[in-house]
Amino acid sequence: MILVIDVGNTNITCGVYRQKTLMTTFRMMSKMPRTSDEYGILIRDMLKENQVDIEKLKGAIIASVVPNVMHSLTGAIRKYLKMEPLIVGSGIKTGIKITSENPKEIGPDRIVDVVAAYEKYGGPVLVLDFGTATTYDLVTEDGKFGVGITAPGIKISAKALWEDTAKLPEIEIKKPDSILARETITSMQAGLVYGQIGQTEYIINQVKKETGLVNLKVVATGGLGRIIADATDTIDVYDSSLTLDGLRILYEKNRKA
């Protein structure tokens, strides 16, 4: 079994794989400062709570977009799980050729997502990740990744609404039955969700238009991705475990090294 860890701007998502099967997942907040001992005890206890035998873990891999977490987190893996984690970054084997002008600027989370999408669904494929930011990344049929679009995530937009306006409340993000809202909360939900649907459809269609890839496969992931995927025909697949699968795939590609 292996432990995969995705460190996002909001949450740290952990998964345990037995071969290609995702056995369990659990989450921690990434914005809360923790020592290596705190991370180690928390991860160890969560593994035990999920009936994972720590002695059977053979490896770990981490992808992180939060650099200041890494020292404590990697220290925790070494001390409490007795293994050296593989870090997604420069030099790791991906099977994808990054052709952007500045490959080192590509976030590890985006690399993990495109590797998973290309391995699972083939190319050309457009990968949408509805996280803190909403990202759109294109992989060609021959495995080249060099085109990406980055937009504010739904939660960022929502936070701006209720933090930067005096009278708008904090709300649950969900799709209302109608865009024709008659009160404040549903009007905010309509603007956020239907606005994201409109943005998503426009960007997908524009990518297809400019590339000529009319049969482009579109795969979505991320916490709020299902809300959007269920509301538009422009997304072909919603894959909730895409990022964790990508970490597993990268671990397997780099295991011998």
Domain map (residue ranges) of the chain: 2-87, 97-245
**Which of 98, 104, 207 has its CA nearest to residue 151?**
207
The torsion angle over the Cα atoms of residues 203, 206, 208 and 211, rounded to 10 degrees, is -120
Q: Strands 21-29 and 125-130, how do they pair?
A: unpaired
Q: What pLDDT tens digit does each residue of the chain (257 aa) get?
A: 999 999 998 899 999 999 999 999 999 998 888 999 999 999 999 999 999 999 999 999 999 999 999 999 999 999 999 999 999 988 899 999 988 877 777 889 999 999 999 999 999 999 999 988 999 999 999 999 988 999 999 989 999 988 888 888 888 899 999 999 999 999 999 999 999 999 999 999 999 999 999 999 999 999 889 999 999 999 999 999 999 999 999 999 998 65
Max Cα-Cα span within the chain: 60
DSSP-derived secondary structure letter, 95:
S
The architecture in CATH of the region 2-87 reads 2-Layer Sandwich (3.30)
7, β-bridge pairs: 12, 64
Judged by DSSP in three states, 62 sits in strand
Segments of 110-158 assigned E as strands: 125-130, 133-139, 144-152
pLDDT of residue 63: 96
Confidence at residue 106, expressed as pLDDT on a 0 to 100 scale: 86
Q: Which residues are catalytic?
A: 109
- Outline where 1-141 has alpha helix (H): 36-49, 67-81, 108-121
Distance CA 67, CA 54 (A): 26
pTM for this predicted structure: 0.91
Same fold, 2-87 and 97-245: yes
**Residues 11-17: contacts with CB under 8 Å, at least 24 apart:** 12/69, 12/73, 13/243, 13/244, 14/43, 14/46, 15/241, 15/244, 15/247, 15/248, 16/47, 16/50, 16/52, 16/57, 17/244, 17/248
Q: Can you give the pLDDT at residue 87?
A: 96
CATH architecture group of domain 97-245: 2-Layer Sandwich (3.30)
